[in-house]
Chain A
Amino acid sequence: MKLVTGVIQPHRLDDVKSALEAAGIRGMTVSEASGYGRQKGHTEVYRGAEYTVDLVPKVRVEVLVADEDAPTVVDVVVKAAQTGRIGDGKVWTTALDDVVRVRTGEHGDAAL
């Protein structure tokens, strides 16, 4: 089993969600995140005082998948999240030892 994690532009979330649904993925976890990469931050002005905001808003999407589905899911997330501009984010996979469905206690692939 793999955990596919994407940190993406918040405004791409709807497209990523639809694309994953279309690809047959039945669940995901989404959380608000802050961060920066090469994009760096932005500047805000309040009553003439400029602030450099280093950490910009991002959305973190997490999907649990079977090993063989991981490349497809990564592909789907990348395509849907891409705008081609700096700040689009990153997607990565992590190997998992186990997954448990809380309701039934099932383990491993059966819990996906």
Chain B
Amino acid sequence: MELDTGATAWMLMSASLVLLMTPGLALFYGGMVRGKSVLNMMMMSFGALAVVGVIYVLWGWSMSYGADLGGIVGNPFDQFGLSGAIYDANGEFLIDDFGVPSIVGVGFQATFAIITVALISGAIADRAKFGTWMVFVAVWVTLCYFPMAHMVWGGGLLSGDGPFASIAAPIDFAGGTVVHINAGVAALVLALVVGKRKGFGSEPMRPHNLPLVMLGAALLWFGWFGFNGGSAFTADGFAGLAWVNTTVATAAAVLGWLVVEKLRDGSATSLGAASGVVAGLVAITPAAGSVSPVGSIAVGAIAGVLSAYAVGLKYKLGYDDSLDVVGVHLVSGLWGTVSIGFLATETGLFYGGGLNQLAVQAIIAVVAVVFSGVVTYLIAIALKAVMGWRVSEEAEVAGIDLAVHSETAYETIQQGSVAKEIRA
């Protein structure tokens, strides 16, 4: 395959856009917590960036796209350290089927692994030990994310090469199962294992900085053009379709969320608009390559409405998914994955495609839920036993930023003097 410089440029750009989503998520989540824990919240995203960024080139790529082991996972030693993943036998860069060097694909895929783990952190805001989180990131991305990526995208059980493909080829364009259902289920499990924040349900825990949340939502949306547009793997009409679908679904989801708020709560809120943005982006992620722009309106609007209602479940059911990773990512991720069965223009039920696609989409969604649920639970209770998840009650109440990071986000009146300076 000859090098396609246009496609390569777009994929490098897309990878950069997706990487930007993780700092964007840090802002989105950071604004939603209280002022005493914003730095810890943002550090969980930056921590995920650091850990997964290193792991991905060591065994992440190989476990996702290396030699298949039972349809579940790639062999971590097949291309450990990217051996054999960059150059061919003649020392030339390997080029993929789209004319893009394989090393660009490695970078693109690494950014997906990073954001997926970071998404989970919103469920355990204000209370988790940073060290336990960092170890969780490494273990979870290895045992849960890489296998899921392999199963869906790397030729495994849930891909077009798997056993379900005889019914219909499963469709997960950019990560409804791998990213959002996976992270959403993990978030629910962690919220249950880690437990509620002190004062959950009795003390007000209002977002301390909504402009930060809006800024984060804007960066997520912008980055998502790489997430979905880049998942076409080249710069073509398919990428353009994904771009338009991404925007239309997101716009419709904002409308859906705001209508629910206006009717139910009396006011359309900025937090609702920012949340609608993310719900729409999540829902269209698996579907961006297979539905029409008009179909995207339905995908987005329904996602906005579903998630606007789903964020209230935690109060009814009593789990403290602090920043609604379940209500937004799991619920809209499930809907987006299943929506393909109705709205895919080639195989969807509403386009005369029958029930096969819908059945397959439901199957991959359920497998993703079960796999992520079981694996995350085992990791979470193991870490609870070995390291413990919670900071002390005193640290949580006084503020985790100061207790864990020795920093505070906002200056009040500065007192004291310099105790020690390090001069290089």
How many whole Å from A41's CB to the nearest CB in chain B? 11
The answer to whether A47 and B206 touch across the interface, beta carbons within 8 angstroms, is: no
The answer to whether A46 and B207 touch across the interface, beta carbons within 8 angstroms, is: yes
Is B204 in contact with chain A by the CB < 8 A criterion?
yes
How distant is the Cα of A100 from the Cα of B308 in the complex, in angstroms? 59
How many whole Å from B83's CB to the nearest CB in chain A? 47
Is B139 in contact with chain A by the CB < 8 A criterion?
no
How distant is the Cα of A44 from the Cα of B261 in the complex, in angstroms? 13
Interface of A, helix, strand, loop or mixed by DSSP? strand
The answer to whether B261 and A51 touch across the interface, beta carbons within 8 angstroms, is: no
How distant is the Cα of A2 from the Cα of B266 in the complex, in angstroms? 47
Is B311 in contact with chain A by the CB < 8 A criterion?
yes
Per-residue interface assignment for chain B, residues 299 to 319, with 1 indicating a CB less than 8 Å from any chain A CB and 0 otherwise: 000000000100110010000
The answer to whether B275 and A47 touch across the interface, beta carbons within 8 angstroms, is: yes
For B204, B275, B308, B327, the residue with the greatest tally of chain A CB atoms inside 10 Å of its CB is B204
The answer to whether B311 and A47 touch across the interface, beta carbons within 8 angstroms, is: yes
The answer to whether B269 and A46 touch across the interface, beta carbons within 8 angstroms, is: yes
Total number of A residues with any Cβ neighbor in B under 8 Å: 10
Per-residue interface assignment for chain A, residues 44 to 58, with 1 indicating a CB less than 8 Å from any chain B CB and 0 otherwise: 111111111100000
Q: How big is chain B's contact interface, by range?
A: 10 to 19
Residues of B contacting A48 in the complex (Cβ-Cβ under 8 angstroms):
261, 264-265, 308, 311-312
How distant is the Cα of A53 from the Cα of B64 in the complex, in angstroms? 49
For A45, A47, A48, A53, the residue with the greatest tally of chain B CB atoms inside 10 Å of its CB is A47
The answer to whether A45 and B204 touch across the interface, beta carbons within 8 angstroms, is: no
Select which of B269, B315, B324, B327 is within 8 A of A45 by beta carbon: B269
How distant is the Cα of A84 from the Cα of B264 in the complex, in angstroms? 32
Select which of A46, A51, A53 is within 8 A of B271 by beta carbon: A46
Residues of B contacting A50 in the complex (Cβ-Cβ under 8 angstroms):
265
Residues of A contacting B315 in the complex (Cβ-Cβ under 8 angstroms):
49
Is B223 in contact with chain A by the CB < 8 A criterion?
no
Select which of B204, B266, B272 is within 8 A of A47 by beta carbon: B272
For A48, A50, A53, the residue with the greatest tally of chain B CB atoms inside 10 Å of its CB is A48
For A45, A50, A51, the residue with the greatest tally of chain B CB atoms inside 10 Å of its CB is A45
Residues 240-273 of B at the A interface (beta carbon under 8 Å): 261, 264-267, 269, 271-272
How many whole Å from A48's CB to the nearest CB in chain B? 5
Residues of B contacting A45 in the complex (Cβ-Cβ under 8 angstroms):
261, 265-267, 269
Residues of A contacting B324 in the complex (Cβ-Cβ under 8 angstroms):
47
Residues of B contacting A47 in the complex (Cβ-Cβ under 8 angstroms):
271-272, 275, 308, 311-312, 324, 327
How many whole Å from A22's CB to the nearest CB in chain B? 33
Residues of A contacting B204 in the complex (Cβ-Cβ under 8 angstroms):
51-53
Residue of B nearest to A53 (CB): B204
How distant is the Cα of A84 from the Cα of B275 in the complex, in angstroms? 39
Residue of A nearest to B266 (CB): A45
Residue of B nearest to A52 (CB): B204
How many whole Å from B273's CB to the nearest CB in chain A? 11
How many whole Å from B316's CB to the nearest CB in chain A? 11
How many whole Å from A37's CB to the nearest CB in chain B? 21
Per-residue interface assignment for chain B, residues 1 to 31, with 1 indicating a CB less than 8 Å from any chain A CB and 0 otherwise: 0000000000000000000000000000000
Apart from A47-B272, A47-B312, A48-B261, 18 more pairs, CB < 8 Å: A44-B206, A45-B261, A45-B265, A45-B267, A45-B269, A46-B207, A46-B269, A47-B275, A47-B308, A47-B311, A48-B265, A48-B308, A48-B311, A49-B312, A50-B265, A51-B206, A52-B204, A53-B204
Q: Which residues of B contact A (CB under 8 A)?
A: 204, 206-207, 261, 264-267, 269, 271-272, 275, 308, 311-312, 315, 324, 327
In order of increasing CB-CB distance, the 3 nearest A-B pairs are: A51-B204, A47-B311, A45-B265
25 A-B residue pairs with Cβ-Cβ distance under 8 Å, sorted by A, are: A44-B206, A45-B261, A45-B265, A45-B266, A45-B269, A46-B207, A46-B269, A46-B271, A47-B271, A47-B275, A47-B308, A47-B311, A47-B312, A47-B324, A47-B327, A48-B261, A48-B264, A48-B308, A48-B311, A49-B312, A50-B265, A51-B204, A51-B206, A52-B204, A53-B204
